[in-house]
Amino acid sequence: MIKKIFFLLASASFIYGCNTEFSVNGEYVEQPIVHFLLDQGKEYQFLKLNKTFLKEGNSLEFAKEPELSYFDNVVATVKEIKNGSTLREWTLEDTVIQNKKDGVFYGPEQKLYFFKPAALPSNIPTSIPKYLDEDAIYRLNINIDNGNHIVEGQTELVKGVSINSPLQNSAFNFVKKYGGAKEYASTAIVFSLGNGATFKTELGFNYREYTASGNTDKTIKYTLGERSNTDLVGSTSSIFAEGEVFYEVLKNKIQPNSDVTKRTVRGMEITLTAGSSDLYTYMLTNEPTSSLAQNQPTYSNVEGALGIFSSRVTVRQYKPYYNNLNNRRSLDVNSTDELCEGPYTAPFKFCSDIPEDNIRSFSCN
């Protein structure tokens, strides 16, 4: 069993002699840095592997040199083990992607290592594909530069996490009307915790923009909230999608465009991401500190390196704007009315192309 290791970053000390020229760089020890989170719902599993480096000169200049952060020779494998037997084994390949955010270090290119497990068979035809076995454990081995570094780790998967409410066919109800009065409402999102320790919930709004030259599908996502095992009791928890916040977010995120002739709803999506207890500890330990003390504990659960080998799972519930089979919609009538004619989003020319709205003032017809 891989032990969880805590480190304390020691401050450097210097011994001054009569020589007025000295280097602030201490003795350099090369360390691998691992970031690897398995997700059984993902078709590709990505490992980020870098190394510490030390160099004389302007750190802001050589931090832009990607070769300083990478190892020359890496052989990484992941084994899937269940009931003491190895079910599958993968050797990771390297790739370069273009999504690294701008910052002090190099970008936007970054080298990652990946493997692609085959989807596991399921006796439920409509189920979402799973690529890793929830009941297995996974062992990581990384051989760096022909044995110069050996990195090992082990993790279980996050499982038992699900969105219980709203149901798949239930519409979001962001507005309630009583006679001539109106008030904003909220929709509760209830989810099962499983063995997760940290949770993040997002709401996605998919819409289509029409111009004289054609149409474009766009998505707006925003975070509803986060929960952790320090403030959760029981097997379920909930978070609320607030109606007025929803319209405010759209107002702030949709870019004005005079060429747009209309916009229509395409769907709504709830995304729930749950992380393991190891990941939660790692996140807590690596948060920025406001303390004057510079020594800060660093958490790692891999041997032979610093970093994290753990798991998370992403659960989604997508609601199409309208389901012809059962006349279900993602936004109820009052919420659609508010989107098209309400004070926050009326200027964006939303209208409804749902057949049952043809008789209403906000219909596209």
Q: Specify the amino acid at residue 342.
A: G
Check residue 288 and give its pLDDT.
Answer: 61
Domains of the chain, by residue range, sit at 5-12+21-157, 162-272+317-357
Tokens of 332: 């109820």
DSSP-derived secondary structure letter, 100: P
Q: What pLDDT is attached to residue 123?
A: 81
Could you tell me the two tokens for 322?
Answer: 């309208």
Tell which residue, 120, 139, 36, has the closest CA to residue 82: 139
Q: Give the pairing of strands 322-323 and 175-178.
A: unpaired
DSSP codes, 298-313: EEE-SBSSEEEEEEEE
Q: How many Cα atoms are found within 13 Å in the side-chain-facing hemisphere of 228? A: 9
pLDDT at 42: 94
Q: Which residues contact 14 (CB under 8 A, 6 or more apart)?
A: 22, 24
Q: Which CATH number fits domain 5-12+21-157: 2.60.120, 3.30.1360, 3.40.50, 2.60.40?
A: 2.60.40
Can you give the pLDDT at residue 4?
45
pLDDT tens-digit profile, the chain (365 residues) = 444 444 333 333 322 233 444 444 456 678 999 999 999 999 999 999 998 765 554 454 555 566 677 899 999 999 999 999 999 999 999 999 876 555 444 545 789 999 999 999 988 776 788 999 999 999 999 999 999 999 999 999 999 999 999 998 899 999 999 887 899 999 999 999 999 999 999 999 999 999 999 999 999 999 999 998 777 777 999 999 999 999 999 999 998 899 999 999 999 999 999 999 999 999 888 776 554 445 556 789 999 999 999 999 999 999 999 987 777 899 999 999 999 999 999 999 999 999 999 999 999 98
pLDDT at 191: 95
Count CA within 13 A, CB hemisphere, residue 124. Answer: 5
Q: What is the pLDDT of residue 99?
A: 60
What whole-number distance in Å separates Cα of residue 142 and Cα of residue 140? 7
